[in-house]
């Protein structure tokens, strides 16, 4: 085994444990010394393998992953490009991904999709700590156009009181036992806040994904749509799951109770499952069949949805409750308790100022509205 190997278990040690476990489960005699010799381990190495903690290494805060190819974009290069995205001098420049790398003085040997995956979005930046925002020219134009059309389509306060804002919430649980909502693509720490101790989030070891909707005098329950709690699961909802688990089982009873004219469902335009990418798909067919009135949000605009802004604690992190185990039901209970703490008065207040927020977007030429 090469020097510096840090993956925790060698294959030989893992096979020793597996062999002995199998023999014991079948009631067969176990000669540990013979098994150690077969896998070319000394007596001390063999017993060390048997006494090793079964706890996954990824849950150990002192352990760092060493597998996988090196990143195509170094940390220093990422930082240089982040500084450009926060720089006021570039707010009126319509940068593409290649232009961003060039502005940062980098010679990139990777494609724009790699840059997109690494940095998230070119559209905006919002600091999770201090609230500082930065919105790029092309996105500001899109937001202005959306705000004008929304004010024209829904000019009255009563229009917004009939709106039910929906979104997927992605709860993340860290090694320190605390919980947060995973940030949007453009929600980062600005260069000043990134230097402050205690603001970094530890590595996720569990994630939980749920759909919710809120409105004036209305707040749904959490709808958990993904059975996986793996930290690598992004929680991307399929269109089939959206139609079955959300529209059919949750939204349809609302239509039955109040009728198609009783509310308007606002859906997240950034989520493919909602059907915003085309006019002919399963989600759109369901809405047409059942007479669901709906509209799509302005993409990449967390300031225009209560489920991305006002109702959450600072930094989208809960600092009071600390989990002591990672069972699925424990995670769901923690998420439900956090959701129960969201007050209806905050939601109602946010809905009532929606026309003013949209007007602020127009007057500020598309910049983010503070919350």
**Beta strand segments in 202-325, E:** 204-215, 218-219, 223-224, 264-267, 294-296, 317-318
In this predicted model, what pLDDT tens digit does every residue of 29-64 receive, in sequence order?
Answer: 888 888 888 888 888 888 887 776 555 555 454 445
Domain residue ranges in the chain:
11-54, 157-183+195-356
End-to-end CA distance of the chain: give it in Å, rounded. Answer: 55
**For the chain, what is the mean pLDDT?**
86
121-135, 140-154, 285-299, 311-325: least confident range = 311-325
82-91, 144-153, 177-186, 350-359: least confident range = 82-91
Determine whether 140 is exposed, middle or buried from the number of CB atoms within 10 Å of its CB (0-12, 13-18, 19+). Answer: buried
The H or E element spanning position 187 is strand 187-188
pLDDT of the residue at 55: 52
Q: Domain 157-183+195-356 falls in which CATH fold?
A: Nucleotidyltransferase; domain 5 (3.30.420)
Closest by Cα among 225, 241, 198 to 335? 225
């Amino acid at each position: 085994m090469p020097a510096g190997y840090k993956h925790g278990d060698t294959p030989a040690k893992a096979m020793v444990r597996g062999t002995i476990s199998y023999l014991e489960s079948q009631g067969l005699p176990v000669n540990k010394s013979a098994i150690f010799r077969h896998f070319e381990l000394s007596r001390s190495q063999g017993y060390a393998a048997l006494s090793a903690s079964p706890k996954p290494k990824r849950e150990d805060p002192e352990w760092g992953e060493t597998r996988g190819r090196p990143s195509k974009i170094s940390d220093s290069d990422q930082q240089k490009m982040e500084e450009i995205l926060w720089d006021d001098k570039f707010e009126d420049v319509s940068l593409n991904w290649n232009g961003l790398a060039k502005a940062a003085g980098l010679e990139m040997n990777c494609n724009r999709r790699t840059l997109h995956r690494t940095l998230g979005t070119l559209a905006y930046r919002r600091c999770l700590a201090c609230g500082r925002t930065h919105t790029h020219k092309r996105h500001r134009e899109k937001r202005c156009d959306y705000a004008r059309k929304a004010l024209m389509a829904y000019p009255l306060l009563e229009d917004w009181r009939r709106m039910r804002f929906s979104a997927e919430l992605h709860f993340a649980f860290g090694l320190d036992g605390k919980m947060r909502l995973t940030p949007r693509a453009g929600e980062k720490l600005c260069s000043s806040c990134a230097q402050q101790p205690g603001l970094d989030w530890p590595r996720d070891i569990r994630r939980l994904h749920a759909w919710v909707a809120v409105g004036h005098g209305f707040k749904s329950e959490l709808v958990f749509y993904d059975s996986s709690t793996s930290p690598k699961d992004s929680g991307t909802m399929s269109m089939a799951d959206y139609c079955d688990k959300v529209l059919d089982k949750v939204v349809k009873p609302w239509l039955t109770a109040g009728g198609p004219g009783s509310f308007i469902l606002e859906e997240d335009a950034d989520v493919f499952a909602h059907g915003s990418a085309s006019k002919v798909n399963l989600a759109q067919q369901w809405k047409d069949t059942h007479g669901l009135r709906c509209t799509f949000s302005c993409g990449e605009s967390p300031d225009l949805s209560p489920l991305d802004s006002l109702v959450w604690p600072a930094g989208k992190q809960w600092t009071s409750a600390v989990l002591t185990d990672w069972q699925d039901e424990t995670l769901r209970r923690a998420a439900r308790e956090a959701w129960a703490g969201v007050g209806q008065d905050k939601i109602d207040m946010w809905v009532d100022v929606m026309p003013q927020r949209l007007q602020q977007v127009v007057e500020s030429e598309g910049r983010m509205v503070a919350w």
